[in-house]
Structures are given as C-alpha cells and as structure tokens.
Amino acid sequence: MNAEALKAAEKVFPGGVNSPVRAFKSVGGSPLFIKRASGSRIFDVEGREYLDYVGSWGPMILGHADPDVIAAVTRTAASGLSFGAPTEAETELAHLVREAFPVIEKMRLVNSGTEATMSAVRLARGFTGRPLIVKFDGAYHGHADSLLVSAGSGVATLAIPGCPGIPESIAACTLVLPFNNIAALQACFEKHAGQIAGVIVEPVCGNIGVVNPADGYLAALRKLCSEHGALLIFDEVMTGFRSCFGGVSNLTEVCPDLTCLGKIVGGGMPLAIYGGRAEIMAHIAPDGPVYQAGTLAGNPVAVAAGIATLKKIKSQPHFYEHLLARAGKLEAGIAAAAATAGFKAVSNRFGSMFTMFFTDQPVVDYATAKTSNTALFARWFRGMLAEGVYLAPSQFEAAFLSAAHSDADIHHTIVAATHVFKQLAAGK
C-alpha cells in the first residue's frame, strides 16, 4: 500500500512528496505514508507500527497527539480557524516565548522557519543599510534565495551542488564560511569592511547533522559582530526548547541581536517566530519601513498548539532532566553497538537531538560531516526500519527524542541497533 500511495502521489507532486528528504532518495526504498501517530509511535497506511525518532523533524517534543495539545487545538478550532486579525492568545504566546528567551524583547509571528529566517535577514539589511549576509557552509536556514547558498539538510542529502532559480546577483550577497573557524570570519569582516549586515548561524548545527560549536566560538562570533556593527542572528528553529526551556543563548549566555524560532514553538502546527532587541524590531512595519506580512500569521489554532506545548513543558520541573537522560542513554547505547560490531562512527548530541556519523574523525563542520559513509548509513537506516525504528532518511539530519519515549522504547531501540550492526558486520 505504501508503494501504491507513492505511485498516486507521483502523479500530482514532484517526486511524490511535498518536501524532498521525505522521498527516501538517499537511503533507497519507498517512503512511508503515515496514517496516524500516538506518543512515540507512528503507523503507516499498511498498519505497521514504528518507534519514531523523526518527530515531524523536531516539533513533537511531547510526543504525537499529546492530549493537552489536541484539546487546545480542538477547543480553539471550534471558534474559528482564522481571523486575519489580532487575538489575545498571540500576546499570551509571546509572553511565554519572552520568558524562555529574554533576548527576544519584541517579536513577529510567522508561519514557517523559512519565513522567520528570511524576515530576519531582510531586517538585518534594513536596520544596518548594508547588503551582505554571512552564513556557514552546509547550514540550512530554509529555502529563501539568500539562504539556500551552500545549504545542508535536503540539499546535502540529495547532493545538489547549487540551486537553479537563484540569480547570481542574489547569491553574491551571501558570503559562505566554514563553521567553527573564527579566523575565517575575522578575515571576512576585514575584506568586506562596512558591508556585512549580519551573520546568521545555527548556534548548534542541526542541518548537516548535529555539530556543536567549539568552546568560545559563539562568544567570538558575538564579539566580532559587535566590533564590526553587524547583527548576530541565531537560527534556533531546531535547537529552541530542545535542551532547556529556552535555547543555546540561555545555555551559553551569548546574546544574539535576533533569534528565529520554529518547530516546538508551534506545537506541531505551522508557526514560527523571529524577534530580538526592541530597537531593531522597531524597524518592522507598521512601526518602521521594513515590510513583512502574512495572511495566516498568528493563526489562532497554531497559537493554541504552541501555548499548550510550552505550558506543559514549563509545568513539569524535571521535564528536561528526564528527556536528556534518555537521550544520553540512547546515544551511548547506539554508539556502543556500532563500536562492538567494529564500525567506525562518531556521535554528536545536543540536548534531545543527536546524529551518528559513519566516519572515523571528529565532525566539527560540513567538510568533516561529508566524510561520512552515506552508503553505510543507508544500509543502517533500512535495517533499523525493518526492526520497526523510524529514523530520519538522511545522514545529514538529526534524530529527535520526545517526552513520550519511555525507557522501554530506548531499550528496544538499542537492542534493534545491536542486531542491525551485527547483520551489517556479517555482510547481510
């Protein structure tokens, strides 16, 4: 039935999917068509059950179909799906976000992480009056033209070297540097003195797989941006709320000028946020000249999901203690299974998200991430899927845990990984 569903979808969608990595092109086989999900599990159209470590690519930190979130969405939907006008719930969500991210003094609600990063970049240019943006090799900040240059995530997964449709004049305004290399950024500022509007960075990379910043790297970014009058933009669409009730800025005490949020902040619904210092956000229309708008921005149903999710996280004093402990146990168990079977692998983790790279060297940037054996990853992915464990179908993505994953789920996954690695070692 999955195969039949794909054939029907291919007649109306490019590749049969509405986002490229879903197509399983890099791992082989046909994508699963999901019919329903509950807690830590998803169920395909053939009725098969899988332990899910994709979590809709990150948002489902409470697990699928959390009853409190579903109740909030249902209750709100009964009063109307969209108004195109302000609601008090938007302000309630904003206060929860400000509590978690003190660096966000004012914000704007949008519909996707792409909209958030695109708008933040436009704002940085409008605020500074400068044309250039710095991003890092392999970083994926959504599919806006300015940010799709040398991108990771699906672009890396499908080995797309560039993206037709982006004019050279636009691509030339984006400067690409290696992650974790502060000397490269210093040289870039010197070469383009007075022209760089902002530096956008995933403070912990997630879209080339998980890559943590070197000690002092983020502080050095902050210092250089301040010295050269450029804005520092943290893309925490993926990392926000993944390790604490806040983000990397809370954990490192490095304060960006602008922050982009998505995924968890919308509770699984289409909602994202960009915001930061009030003086910068004052340049957004209607207060200022930098225009950005959206018919469905602040959609009441999406806002309700976000509020319910953040309130539930906040209400549980040991939420992150338990979540991170299980994440550490799972990461260590899978890494041990790989090592015992004789496979060279490196595991990187941030909070409740991690990636196993099939390489024998530390993964500190996109260049080292690309040393991974993607063919081996594909075999491992298919083996785990056969064991009923659903991982992201790409070497260059992260696995996500939710609060719904139990100790029994973690044990089952480690046992499955041990079995699969033994099979791979035996050449099966």
Distance of alpha carbon 289 from the chain centroid: 30
The span from the CA of 289 to the CA of 128, in Å, is: 13
Who's near 168: CB < 8 A, 6+ residues apart?
A: none
Question: How large a percentage of the chain has pLDDT more than 90?
Answer: 89
Structure-block tokens of residue 23: 């197509």
pLDDT number for residue 100: 98
Over the stretch 45-99, which tens digit does the pLDDT of each residue have? 999 999 999 999 999 999 999 999 999 999 999 999 999 999 999 999 999 999 9
pLDDT at 149 exceeding the cut of 80? no
pLDDT per position as a tens digit, 210-240: 999 999 999 999 999 999 999 999 999 999 9
Q: Where are the alpha helices (DSSP H) in 153-263?
A: 154-157, 168-171, 182-191, 217-228, 248-252
Q: Is 338 helix (H, G, I), strand (E, B) or coil?
A: helix
For position 428, what pLDDT does the model report?
72
| CA atoms of 391 and 35, how far apart (whole Å) | 17
Q: What are phi and psi of 235, to 5 degrees?
A: -90, 95
Q: Assess whether pLDDT exceeds 70 at residue 152.
A: no
pLDDT tier for residue 157 given thresholds of 50, 70 and 90: very low
pLDDT band at 341 (very low <50, low <70, confident <90, very high): very high
Is residue 259 classed as helix, strand or coil in its secondary structure? strand
Q: Of these residues, 50, 135, 257, 263, which one is catalytic?
A: 263
Residue 426 gets which letter from DSSP? T
| Residue of 224, 60, 153 whose CA lies nearest to 395 | 153
User: Which residue type is seen at 8?
Assistant: A
Q: Quick one: pLDDT at residue 158?
A: 44
Confidence class for position 322, pLDDT limits 50, 70, 90: very high
pLDDT of residue 293: 96
pLDDT-derived band of residue 150, with 50, 70 and 90 as boundaries? low
Strands (E), 12-87: 34-38, 41-44, 49-52
Residue range(s) of every CATH 3.90.1150.10 domain in the chain: 2-65+318-425
Catalytic, out of 44, 52, 66, 235: 235
Give 272-299 pLDDT, tens digit per residue: 999 999 999 999 999 999 999 999 999 9
Helices (H), 24-180: 67-77, 88-100, 113-128, 154-157, 168-171
Catalytic entry in 53, 140, 217, 366: 140
Residue 235 falls in the annotated catalytic set? yes
Superfamily grouping for domain 2-65+318-425 = Aspartate Aminotransferase, domain 1 (3.90.1150.10)
For the chain, helix, strand, coil in percent to 5 are 40, 15, 40
pLDDT at residue number 410: 98
Q: How far is C-alpha 75 from the chain's CA centre?
A: 28
For 23, residues 6+ apart whose C-beta sits below 8 A from its C-beta are: 15, 16, 17, 31
Asked whether the bond before 178 is cis by omega within 30 degrees of 0, the reply is: no
Cβ atoms of 400 and 330 within 8 Å: the answer is no
Q: What is the pLDDT of residue 26?
A: 87
Distance of alpha carbon 24 from alpha carbon 141, whole angstroms: 21
Q: What is the pLDDT of residue 411?
A: 98
Cis ω for the linkage preceding 286 (within 30 of 0): yes
Could you confirm whether 370 is annotated as catalytic? no
Query: Is 263 one of the catalytic residues?
Result: yes
For the chain, residues classed under CATH 3.40.640.10 are 67-315
Residues linked to residue 177 through DSSP beta bridges, in sequence order: 136
**Rounded percentage of the chain residues whose pLDDT exceeds 70:** 97
What are phi and psi for residue 42, nearest 5 degrees? -120, 160
Q: Which amino acid is at 195?
A: Q
For residue 275, report the phi and psi dihedrals to the nearest 5 degrees: -175, 175
Please state which CATH number belongs to domain 67-315: 3.40.640.10
Q: 24: alpha, beta or left, given left = phi > 0 and alpha = psi -120 to 50?
A: left
Cα of 209 vs its chain's centroid, Å: 10
Phi, psi torsion values for 283, nearest 5 degrees: -85, -5
Average pLDDT, the chain: 94
**Contacts of 185 by beta carbon, 8 Å cutoff, 6+ apart:** 134, 177, 199, 220, 221, 224
Q: What is the pLDDT of residue 159?
A: 44
